[in-house]
Amino acid sequence: MASFALFLSTLIVLSSSCCYAIGNNKTLSSLASRIGINYGRLGNNLPSPYQSINLIKSIKAGHVKLYDADQETLTLLSKTNLYVTIMVPNNQIISIGADQAAADNWTNTNVLPHHPQTRIRFILVGNEILSYNTDQDKQTWANLVPAMRKIVNSLRARGIHNIKVGTPLAMDVLRSSFPPSSGAFREEVAAPVMLPLLKFLNGTNSFFFLDVYPYFPWSTDPVNNDLDFALFESNSTYTDPQTGLVYANLLDQMLDSVISAMTKLGYPNIRLAISETGWPNSGDIDETGANILNAGTYNRNLIKKMTANPPLGTPARPGLPIPTFLFSLFNENQKPGSGTERHWGILNPDGTQIYDIDFSGTRPVSDLGPLPKPNNNVPFKGNVWCVVIEGASEEELGQVLNFACGRSNETCAALAPGRECYAPVSVTWHASYAFSSYWAQFRNQSSQCYFNGLARETTTNPGNERCRFPSVTL
């Protein structure tokens, strides 16, 4: 189907026993059948770690992935049966990669106080570091595998053999991904980074961790791309012309493109783990398909697929289980960027479910609660403005107003005394005009209607006959 080329072409540009063997399918199936949840904390309205862990248990997740090694959270997790994944921050990779003592210190601080009471199973070094490419980032690339090796050395020196070390990468690590058989890593990372990384993962029986989101390739052309194919709901299939493998969903295509890329570098058997996947439950007006129906459908079907017994695997690796972490536990209101960034959660900040979901995979999807009908599965056409959110602090608005008006003399010219938009004289009115004007002026340069969380999009014209607010036309 021609539309499927559009799907992936856009990606050219994510037991306290002694040990477990990755090659042991029974053990791996047990690990993979525990669907994990990503527990991010970039919000100012989120429950405490204690409350959050109880919520994780209530949704029957079996594994929790942290974006750090928070001591309070790890201590609380020792009182649960949850498997745990912790992370080495990006900004510590260079120091750890260059110095075994730094790796030892990190392990002594973040692992030893909690092992084995807290069931840490994975340590992930960095987060999507190959998605950034400044000179500093490239220094981090060079230290990635050395840092991973030194963390393993620290673990083994302390008699810890049941924690695997990996690093999560985004789909942009590929230069080609469609058809899946064409999967290949970007040239600038293939030899210097990916080859030693794959050698390390193979030698330590670890996983290739992948952040993989079918929403993004689908949303590049929501009119022509098949939404049902992205949501595991399609009756259509795609056959790879090189391998003859038949695909029934977009996720499998994306996963197998990474398998193809690894195979081209001589490592066809490294197991995949999905460190992040999901679908946004809301977003900006121009973010088509970001809604509760699609999010619930994707995540429910994902869990059904990944908890199937026997495991389904992918067309390139049928029958092999894939450890999977769903993104994410909460909507996080302090994540910058477009609206979808703040709307991947399973739960609202008050702990209520945004939609009914069962991480155990034991309840039939048909038995889960109904999902609301969306109105944004087709692109919006019309004018959009950027205005101040309700309840915004005037002090914070004043600071952001100075930023919005400071980049260009044109942005806030209409707010000058005596000009058409000067009255009413209020911080909220002036900020709403400035936000709309700035966004309209600089949207083509990746400006977002966010402004430190003080702005929102609207299709209702906030101006009046005297003062016409600039708008974005979709």
Q: Which residues pair with 83 in a beta bridge?
A: 63, 119
Angle of the 250-264 helix axis to the 2-9 helix axis, nearest 10: 60
What would the pLDDT profile of 243-273 be if each residue is shown by its tens digit?
Answer: 999 999 999 999 999 999 999 999 999 999 9
Query: Per-residue confidence of the chain (474 residues) as pLDDT tens digits?
Result: 433 333 444 443 333 223 333 345 555 556 666 899 999 999 999 999 999 999 999 999 999 999 999 999 999 999 999 999 999 999 999 999 999 999 999 999 999 999 999 999 999 999 999 999 999 999 999 999 999 999 999 999 999 999 999 999 999 999 999 999 999 999 999 999 999 999 999 999 999 999 999 999 999 999 999 999 999 999 999 999 999 999 999 999 999 999 999 999 999 999 999 999 999 999 999 999 999 999 999 999 999 999 999 999 999 999 999 999 999 999 999 999 999 999 999 999 999 999 999 999 999 888 999 999 999 999 999 999 999 999 999 999 999 999 999 999 999 999 999 999 999 999 999 999 999 999 999 999 989 999 999 999 999 999 999 999 999 999
Q: What is the pLDDT of residue 446?
A: 85
Structure-token match 């058997």, residue found: 269
> How far apart, in whole angstroms, are the C-alpha atoms of residue 340 and residue 212?
15
Cα–Cα distance for residue pair 429/116, rounded to 1 Å: 56
Spatial separation of the C-alpha atoms in residues 164 and 111, rounded to whole Å: 12
Task: Provide the token pair at 240.
Answer: 């790879």
Catalytic positions: 128, 276
CA distances from 414 to 389, 461, 466, 467, 470 (A): 21, 17, 11, 8, 11
Give tens-digit pLDDT for 410-451.
999 999 999 999 999 999 999 999 999 999 999 999 899 999
Quick check: helix, strand or coil at residue 177?
Answer: coil
What is the C-alpha end-to-end distance of the chain, expressed in Å? 28
Task: State the Cα–Cα distance between residues 325 and 262, nearest whole angstrom.
Answer: 21
Residue with token string 């109105």: 375
